[in-house]
C-alpha cells in the first residue's frame, strides 16, 4: 500500500444537514405504513393460522426496525472513496459506528431469517401428510437453527476482525492518508484499517445474498410442487388462494431486496470515483428513493392482506 496524498471532497465537506432532516421524514412515513400493516396482519388475516400471522408480523417488524435503525438511529454517512463511515444519529456520542453497524447487521439478519421462516410455515401447512417435505416438529426447528447459524455466523465472523482501536485508527490515517486527518475529528467515525477484512465482508455478503436467493427459490418451488400435487382434491378457489399468497409474498420481498440494494450499490460505486468529486448530493437521491420504495412495498403487502379476506380458507394451527 502506498501513501495517498490526495484531498478527499467527502472528508473536507462532512456536513450532512440535509440528510439529518431527510431520513427521519422517510422513517416517519415508513412507521405509519408499517403500523397499518401490523394492524391488518392480525385483523384482516383471520383465515390464516396464528403461527403464520405471528411469523409474518415478526418478519415485517424486523425489517421495519432495520429500516428505522439505519435511517434514524445510525443515519450513516459514507466518506467513500475515503475508507470510513460515521453516524449522525442520536447514538453517535456513545457508540462507534463499527458497533452500530454490527447491530444493524443483527436486525437485518433477523429480517432475512424471518423471510425464510414465513415460507417454512407455509410449507408445513401445505405439505401432504406422507410427503417428504411434511417434516416433524423436531426437523422443523432443526432447519430453523441451521438457518440461524447460516444467517448470522458468517457475516459476524467477517465483520468483527475489522475492528480497530482509536489509537490504531489515528496511526493508520496519519501514515497512509496524511491529508485526511480532518476525518478523525468526526465523532464515532470508523475507518477501515484492514482492506482484507472489508474484502471478506463483501465476499461473505454477496455469498449470503446469492445462496440465500437460491434457498428462497427452492422453497418456493417446493411449495408450488405441493400445491400442484393437491390440485385435484382442492377447489379452484383454494388453489388460487395459495398461489396468490405465494405470489404476493415473493413480489413483496423481491421489491424490498431490489431497493435495499440501491443505496449501498450507489455508495460502493463511489470507491471507483475521483476523490475530488462531490458525491454527497449524488448519493442522497438514490437513498431517498430506495427508502421511499421500501415503504411502498410494505404498503403493497398491506393491500395483499386486505385481498386475502375474500378467500374462506383455514389451516389447522399445527405448528405450535
What's the pLDDT tens digit per position in 114-153?
989 989 988 888 888 888 888 888 998 999 999 999 999 9
Q: What is the mean pLDDT of the chain?
A: 80
Domain 9-310 is found in CATH 1.20.1070.10: yes
Instruction: Label residue 218 by pLDDT band (50, 70, 90).
Output: very high
Helices (H), the chain: 9-12, 17-43, 50-68, 97-126, 137-159, 166-176, 195-229, 236-269, 280-307
**Owner of C-alpha cell 423436531:** 138
Instruction: Label residue 320 by pLDDT band (50, 70, 90).
Output: very low
Number of Cβ within 10 Å of residue 134's Cβ equals: 14
218: part of which helix (H) or strand (E)? helix 195-229
pLDDT of 188 higher than 60: yes
Amino acid at each position: 500500500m502506498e501513501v495517498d496524498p490526495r484531498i478527499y471532497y467527502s472528508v473536507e465537506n462532512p456536513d450532512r444537514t440535509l440528510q439529518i432532516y431527510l431520513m427521519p421524514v422517510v422513517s416517519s412515513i415508513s412507521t405509519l405504513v408499517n403500523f397499518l400493516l401490523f394492524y391488518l396482519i392480525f385483523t384482516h388475516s383471520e383465515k390464516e393460522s396464528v403461527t403464520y400471522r405471528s411469523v409474518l408480523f415478526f418478519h415485517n417488524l424486523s425489517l421495519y426496525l432495520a429500516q428505522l435503525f439505519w435511517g434514524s438511529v445510525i443515519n450513516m454517512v459514507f466518506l467513500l472513496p475515503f475508507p470510513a463511515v460515521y453516524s449522525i444519529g442520536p447514538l453517535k456520542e456513545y457508540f462507534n459506528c463499527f458497533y452500530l453497524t454490527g447491530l444493524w447487521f443483527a436486525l437485518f439478519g433477523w429480517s432475512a431469517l424471518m423471510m425464510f421462516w414465513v415460507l417454512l410455515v407455509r410449507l408445513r401447512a401445505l405439505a401432504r401428510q406422507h410427503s417428504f417435505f411434511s417434516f416433524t416438529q423436531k426437523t422443523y426447528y432443526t432447519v430453523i437453527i441451521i438457518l440461524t447459524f447460516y444467517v448470522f455466523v458468517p457475516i459476524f465472523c467477517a465483520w468483527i476482525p475489522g475492528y480497530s482501536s482509536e489509537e490504531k485508527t489515528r496511526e493508520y490515517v496519519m501514515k497512509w492518508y496524511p491529508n485526511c486527518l480532518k476525518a478523525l475529528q468526526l465523532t464515532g467515525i470508523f475507518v477501515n484499517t484492514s482492506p482484507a477484512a472489508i474484502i471478506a465482508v463483501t465476499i461473505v455478503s454477496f455469498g449470503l445474498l446469492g445462496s440465500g436467493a437460491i434457498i428462497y427459490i427452492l422453497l418456493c418451488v417446493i411449495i408450488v410442487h405441493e400445491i400442484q400435487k393437491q390440485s385435484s382434491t382442492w377447489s379452484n378457489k383454494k388453489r388460487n388462494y395459495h398461489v396468490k399468497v405465494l405470489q404476493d409474498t415473493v413480489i413483496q420481498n423481491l421489491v424490498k431486496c431490489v431497493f435495499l440494494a440501491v443505496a449501498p450499490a450507489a455508495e460502493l460505486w463511489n470507491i471507483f470515483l475521483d476523490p475530488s468529486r462531490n458525491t454527497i448530493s449524488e448519493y442522497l437521491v438514490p437513498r431517498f428513493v430506495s427508502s421511499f420504495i421500501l415503504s411502498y412495498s410494505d404498503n403493497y403487502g398491506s393491500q395483499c392482506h386486505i385481498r386475502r379476506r375474500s378467500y374462506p380458507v383455514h389451516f389447522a394451527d399445527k405448528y405450535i
